[in-house]
Structure 1
Amino acid sequence: MAHIDQVLGPADDTVTFFQPRAMVYVTMLWVAAAVWVVCLGLHILIRLALGHPLPGDSLVMYLELALILPAVFSAVILLVAWKRFGWLHSSMHGLDFAATGRKPVHLPWAGIATVSLRHWGPFRELVVTPIAPDFATVLDGAGRAPRMRKRGGEVSYLVDVGLMSPGPEVLIAELHRRLPTKV
């Protein structure tokens, strides 16, 4: 009797989902800029509330900081995580995935109990729950241990998919298409 992962299929049936670097950079840039502008605004308001007036050239300096620091911060984070962005491969052999900065995981289709999405926007996550923890195989690779959620006796794997291309809705449709139907 052949092991479920030893069944050979066409080599071109893999569907790959990945996080485009440009989309990650632009999203990080907007989030960092929003947080930084709010912090600078609070700093200015607190300074004025305490009776410390702003010198004439301070407003230009604050504007420059609001424009430059988020761009530099986002670029540094992007360079640090350059080869460690999340990805997901769906093929006839099963599901392979890795969250950003984490080791990859392989699950055969028969070993997946449920897949679902949670949260929204760039923070959207895929929750993959195996039938039993021993169905999942943590593969060799760089990074920390896979992201997991343990509730009761159930273990689920989490993958950041909010910025994946094609989008999370296409991803979940692909996974539901491949999952064996349970009767």
Structure 2
Amino acid sequence: MAHIDQVLGPADDTVTFFQPRAMVYVTMLWVTAAVWVTALALHVLLRLAIGDSLSAADIVTYAEVALIVPVVFAALILLLAWRRLGWLHSSMHGLDFAATGRKPVHLPWAGIATVALRHWGPFTELVVTPVAEDFATIGDAPGRRPRLRRRAGETSYLVDVGLMSPGPKVLLAELHRRLPSKV
């Protein structure tokens, strides 16, 4: 005969979603590089428009700056956010989450009205709308207050999930699996 714990399953069935640092770094690198190279190209075009000419040394300097600045800038951003990247835990106790640099929030499953994704790619956000603001418990961890969206009398919490592993669609499927059937 099976033991009762084996029949009911594990006491802690937490599923964790997190932002891998390497993925955050690479994403910050390409975004920073795109902005920086565009700014440098505009600077070069402005110089050429006013009649200035570029020497071989200028071209080498622009190439060096285009390669070095995004790498250093992305590394600095990652170092600043190293211990404060976003995460989400889904367990039988409810939903716990924190956006990057924000305080954690706990919501019991019965206290969640809706969950949805907005935007796309690395900019995807999870929108968690509680039944009432009283259901949410904000943790004491360091960081700024959670990101809120107030619309039509509802308050929703926003979590950056575009770079979370596994991906946002898996995260949303997990949340819908756990939510009471009213959603």
Task: Name the TM-score, length of structure 1 as normaliser.
Answer: 0.93
Q: Match for residue 18 of structure 2?
A: 18
**Offset at 1:153?**
1.4
Distance in structure 1 (CA, Å) of the matches to 2:75 and 2:56: 31
The Cα offsets for residues 157-176 of structure 1, whole Å up to 9 and x where unpaired, read as 00000000000000000000
Counterpart of 1:32?
A: 32
Q: Which residue of 1 aligns with 2:91?
A: 91
1:102-129 alpha-carbon deviations (Å, 9 max, x no partner)? 0000000000000000000000000000
Match of 2:124, as an amino acid? R
How many residues end up aligned between the 2 structures?
175
Q: CA offset at residue 88 of structure 1?
A: 0.1
Give 2:168's aligned residue.
Answer: 168
Q: Is the 8 A contact 2:103 2:144 kept in 1?
A: yes
Determine if the alignment matches structure 1 residue 120 to structure 2 residue 120.
Answer: yes
Equivalent residue, structure 2, for 1:56: 56
**Is the 8 Å Cα contact of residues 124 and 161 (structure 2) preserved in structure 1?**
yes
Q: Give the equivalent residue in structure 2 for 1:81.
A: 81
Alpha-carbon distance in 2 for matches of 1:153, 1:116 = 17
Aligned counterparts of 2:71 and 2:56: Cα–Cα separation in 1: 25
Unaligned runs of 5+ in 1: 1-8
Query: Offset of 1:55 from its aligned partner?
Result: 2.3
**One-letter amino acid of the counterpart of residue 181, structure 1:** S
Give the counterpart letter for 2:120 in structure 1. Answer: W
Rounded to whole Å, the distance in 2 between the matches of 1:170 and 1:14 is 14
- Residue matched to 1:135: 135
Q: Which residue of 2 aligns with 1:70?
A: 70
Identity of aligned residues (%): 77
Which residue identity does 2:159 align to in structure 1?
A: V
Residue in structure 1 matched with residue 110 of structure 2 by the alignment? 110
Q: Which amino acid in 1 is paired with 2:78?
A: L
- Report what 1:148 is aligned to: 148
Runs of 4+ in 1 over 2 A off after TM superposition: 9-12
SS in 1 for 2:158: strand
Deviations 1:117-153 (A, max 9, x none): 0000000000000000100010110100000001131
Amino acid at match of 1:179: L
> Which 5+ residue runs of structure 2 have no aligned equivalent?
1-8
TM-score w.r.t. structure 2 length?
0.93
Q: What SS does structure 2 have at the residue aligned with 1:159?
A: strand
**Root mean square deviation, CA, Å:** 1.1
CA deviation after TM superposition for structure 1 residue 14, in Å: 0.1
Residue 46 (structure 1) aligns with: 46
Structure 1 CA distance for aligned equivalents of residues 156 and 56 of structure 2: 55
